[in-house]
Amino acid sequence: MEKGQRRILIGLVATLVLWAVLLARLFFIQIIQHEYLSRLAEIQQIKRVEIPAPRGRIFDRNDRPLAENLRTISVSANPSKIKDKRRTAKCLSEILQIPEGELLEKLSNGGKFAWLARQFPPSVERKVAAKNLEQVYCMDEMKRVYPTGNLAVMLVGSTDTDGKGIEGIECEMDRFLKGTPGWVTLFTDVTGKKFPLPRSYERPPAKGYDVILTIDANYQAMVEAKLTEGILKHNARGGTVILLAPKTGEILAMASEPGPNGDANPGSSRVPSRNIPVSDQFEPGSTFKVVAASAALSLGVCDTFSRFDGEGGEKDFGGYTIHDSKPHGWLSFRDAVALSSNICLAKIGLKVGKEGLYRYTRAFGFGSPTGLQLPGEAFGKVRPLADWSARSLCTLSIGQEISVTAVQLAMAYGAIANGGVLLKPTLMKAIVDEKGNTVKKWRPQRVRRVISEEVAATLRDCLKSAVEYGTGTGAGLSWISCGGKTGTAQKYDPANGGYGSGQYVSSFIGFIPADSPELLCLVIIDEPQDIHYGGSVAAPIFKGIVEVIGRFPLTPVKPGYARLVLDSSDEKKGRAVVPDVRFMEWQEGKAILEDLGLKVKMAGAGRRVWTQSPHPGEVLEPKAEITLTLLDEGKRLFRIPDVRGLSLREATRVLSDSLLASEIHGSGIVVRQDPMPGTEALAGTVCCLGCEE
């Protein structure tokens, strides 16, 4: 065989061998390793991505949103595959208004994933896409927003960056609010871009349930305004107010704010600290005297005609002396309660006895958590009988040697107000799904009967006398009967083992109307600096709150909750439903309205929106104008609107939206109003309307 032919033969054989090896390799890959490689490719190219569930919203009892979700855009990147990191950082810096160096540092970490910016306005997505940046991605992320700003902040609470509840109702009801995440399968190409595959949407996320609270946002705003006013007036360390419906146990408003002598300025931060009404304990002082009085009437050791010697304001009870703030002679049982005589109540306590007083103290709920749906509730402190000293019976009868929480005290008085039944307090009205179907509903929950209806009625009558001529005259109202009790307690100082000099807790707890109470309000002012008696400090604040709130009818809770929906014709015409931006930071409210194509006009000065016109729920044409009136939260002053010429119904609506009360004279069209339009007033001011047909 010639040399050339041998070369051809060798080449042919080599080619055949190569093809044989390739065919064998293909057989091995395609047949033998098919399943393994398919699984490997699926792992590398098809990924299961979790889809977060939209968090449920939180509403007040009248469907005003207190917490909801806002669609935002978050920007991420794959730094390991970005070639020109400096250009990428520069482009994104212009869009995101983040320092270029900060972005460059994130892009230089060499990893496969990095967050560059989170929870920015949706307009960012379009701007980033226009830059056509490699390995930079925009994704939807829901941001928790609170339309009413700091209103009811300690109740509603907050979430972390990932949307998990960490405070207040957000934390306590997280299991209902958080929903169930879904997931989707995506195909990833060689450049790292992800694409959905046909039928890849395996499970959609289940939206969290919405939570409806018992509080009324209007009541809450008024309570917070009056509380702040009282704290500043008395230069106090802080204060607490609880407003509730004694017949149901529903909390209608609950506020607690530090004052200029406290840890922070009122309303200075969205982040709540602790829920003081359930977590902080204090000596109640004279407001606790109703327990000894209740026990005495229930056990039959006293009646309203029983008389006690006030001893001229000072009495030695055998090794310890009890004083009254004013000297008293002989007092009836009713007057002893109304005038809050320490000496007479100590004598009543001696008649009740240790076992009786302890039993009724525990029966009223002291020493046990109330079960209110807020984290961190304290038990209070009631010492067991074995630890009582020789003076404990008398001092406990006047509210010393015991620690209570504000909620415990409010619910104890709620039992007197509703006819003798201790109820479990609640902040929860209902949990509903996104269609408005009720998932869970709260009804009044009875704990136990503490006293009889007859005893409760007698005590209400005594407390009515306390407001008529006793220590609570500062709480009296001209237009409705009122009952209540003052409290002035010296604060215990653990540093010296005694009561601090000049440190007091001033309180008043009352209800209206006195005979069949519908509203109950507790006011506590911590360390007032000028005067310290509960009748002079807390009672007038109670009066200011009830003067306003008592004139506003309590709106019954609707089944489900309202939804503002455009019909198809409105959508085609570009019309928009006006959202409720009251109480929002003005920048946030303005941005929401402008995103709907509305023009925004600002009026007044301040940080937060107080009123808006047109009203929430109205349907507006494109580019219509809406006016936002701002409020200076420090002063809580704003100008009274002009309602002359309006129908009575429309006038009361305008005033109600401005958190003003109405006193109506006549009917028909409003022709006179007092105060006059433009007058500066506090929230809750009563506006008298004169109407004519």
3-state class percentages of the chain: helix first, strand second, coil last, to nearest 5: 35, 30, 40
Please list the ranges in the chain whose pLDDT falls under 50. Answer: 264-271, 555-572, 633-634
Residue type, 126: R
Tens digits of residue pLDDT in 648-688: 777 876 776 666 766 777 777 888 888 888 887 766 677 88
pLDDT for 113 equals 78
Structure tokens at 37: 């490689």
Q: How far is CA 303 from CA 292, 334, 336, 355, in A?
A: 13, 9, 12, 19
Answer for the pair 361, 383: CB distance below 8 angstroms, yes or no: no
pLDDT for 350 equals 95
pLDDT for 632 equals 57
Tens digits of residue pLDDT in 477-525: 888 889 999 999 888 666 666 665 678 899 999 999 999 899 999 999 9
pLDDT for 364 equals 96
Q: Within 13 Å of residue 201, how many CA atoms lie on the same side as its CB?
A: 3
Phi, psi of 231 (to 5 degrees): -60, -45
Mean pLDDT of the residues in the chain = 82
- Please give the model's pTM, rounded to 2 decimal places: 0.73
pLDDT for 616 equals 67
Per DSSP, which regions of 480-570 are E strands? 483-493, 498-512, 519-526
152: left (phi over 0), alpha (psi -120 to 50) or beta: left
Tell me how many degrees the CA angle 101-105-111 measures, rounded to the nearest 5. Answer: 155
pLDDT for 493 equals 67
Tell me how many degrees the CA angle 35-38-44 measures, rounded to the nearest 5. Answer: 145
